[in-house]
């Protein structure tokens, strides 16, 4: 493996270099998607918008990123389209999270495949209670993603050696940005530490646990139907026993049953978004800040 000097944040020269690199990243991020890469630039295809948000700052100025999953679609059940096959075939690599999340990527032919799960640090992964299965919704914890940077950069550089220096420099700046973002959110969300939510789609554990917010329960996706008496009772019991104050919902889930359930149990709703990919939630920082704001607005 190549040597990547990512010893961040030491020495004045390094800080100046990092500041310059940050400017570069900021310049690239303004004209999405990485159109500053120029004609003939290498292309990376990614399955879901947050993977695009993670990759773009690393490849800015060198490669383009195309996201396959359209906004509003489920990352679990998406059906690939002819367009996706064309993009995957053109790409240097197809980047996905894990077979247990966006396994539909395996239906696309690609020159190379990069699996985010291979880049994650094993001790940063959480497992679902009960089943013990690995929770693949890893991307909303900036510390988890920061720990994945080094291996991600190594993999990109192996596929595109001419971009290695750019990836290394961009990655260093992005690492600093992730650390700052994490500190900012920890401070902002400090008043919510120890307080409890209920999730529908169990996609937000990494974010919530990172900032000390408890998930008292997960109520199975009620797919557009009115909440059942059993679900209402389950939530009411949790509200009493665990002091649940907020139900977390997502744009991918229908709103009416969530509202009915929240009203019946006397809790509030946080409209969070694990995927983003729409204006205002496109960059990694935008997506995380959006989710922090949604929680802060919802808690009484």
- The residue at minimum Cβ distance from Zn ion is 203
Instruction: Tell me the site size for Zn ion, rule CB under 5 A.
Output: 1
Contact 118, 151 (CB under 8 A): yes
Q: Is 283 in the site for Zn ion (CB under 5 A)?
A: no
Backbone phi and psi for residue 66, each to the nearest 5 degrees, phi listed first: -115, 135
- Footprint of Zn ion on residues 166-225 (CB under 5 A)? 203
Minimum CB distance to Zn ion, residue 101 (Å): 6
Burial class (CB in 10 A: 0-12, 13-18, 19+), 254: middle
**In which element (H, E) is residue 287 found?**
helix 284-298
CB of 222 to Zn ion, least distance (A): 16
For residue 98, the minimal CB distance to Zn ion (Å) is: 11
- State how far the alpha carbon of 210 is from the alpha carbons of 87, 116, 223, in Å: 34, 19, 28
Shortest separation between residue 249's beta carbon and Zn ion, angstroms: 13
Cβ nearer to Zn ion, comparing 42 with 52: 52
> What's the number of CA atoms in the CB half-sphere (13 Å) around residue 285?
15
Phi first, then psi: give them for residue 42, nearest 5 degrees: -60, 150
Measured from the CB atom, is 21 or 140 closer to Zn ion? 140
The least CB distance from residue 193 to Zn ion, in Å, is 25
Nearer to Zn ion, 202 or 286 (CB): 202
Q: Where are the beta strands (DSSP E) in 41-140?
A: 43-46, 64-67, 93-96, 113-115
C-beta of 199 vs 203, nearer to Zn ion:
203
Return the number of the residue (130 or 300) whose C-beta is nearest Zn ion.
130
- Per CB under 5 A, residues contacting Zn ion are 203
């Amino acid at each position: 493996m190549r040597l990547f000097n990512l010893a961040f944040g030491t020495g004045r020269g390094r800080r100046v270099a990092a500041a310059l690199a940050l400017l570069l990243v900021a310049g690239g991020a303004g004209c999405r998607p990485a159109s500053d890469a120029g004609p003939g630039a290498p292309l990376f295809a990614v399955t879901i918008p947050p993977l695009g948000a993670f990759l773009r700052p690393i490849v800015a100025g060198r490669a383009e990123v195309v996201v396959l999953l359209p906004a509003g679609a489920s990352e679990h059940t998406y059906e690939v389209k002819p367009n996706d096959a064309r993009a995957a075939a053109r790409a240097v690599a197809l980047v996905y999270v894990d077979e247990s999340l966006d396994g539909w990527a395996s239906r696309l032919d690609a020159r190379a495949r990069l699996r985010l799960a291979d880049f994650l640090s094993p001790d940063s992964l959480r497992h679902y209670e009960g089943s013990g299965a690995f929770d693949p919704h890893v991307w909303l914890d900036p510390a988890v993603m920061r720990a994945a940077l080094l291996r991600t950069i190594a993999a990109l550089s192996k596929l595109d050696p001419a971009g290695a220096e750019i990836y290394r420099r961009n990655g260093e700046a992005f690492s600093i940005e992730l650390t700052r973002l994490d500190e900012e959110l920890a401070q902002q969300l400090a008043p919510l530490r120890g307080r409890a939510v209920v999730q529908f789609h169990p996609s937000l554990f990494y974010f919530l646990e990172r900032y000390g917010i408890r998930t008292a329960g997960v109520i199975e996706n009620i797919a557009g139907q009115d909440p059942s008496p059993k679900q209402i009772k389950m939530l009411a019991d949790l509200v009493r026993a665990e002091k649940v104050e907020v139900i977390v919902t997502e744009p991918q889930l229908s709103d009416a049953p969530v509202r009915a359930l929240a009203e019946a149990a006397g809790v509030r709703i946080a409209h969070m978004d694990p995927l983003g990919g729409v204006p205002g939630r496109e960059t990694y920082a935008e997506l995380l800040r959006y989710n922090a704001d949604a929680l802060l607005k919802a808690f009484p």
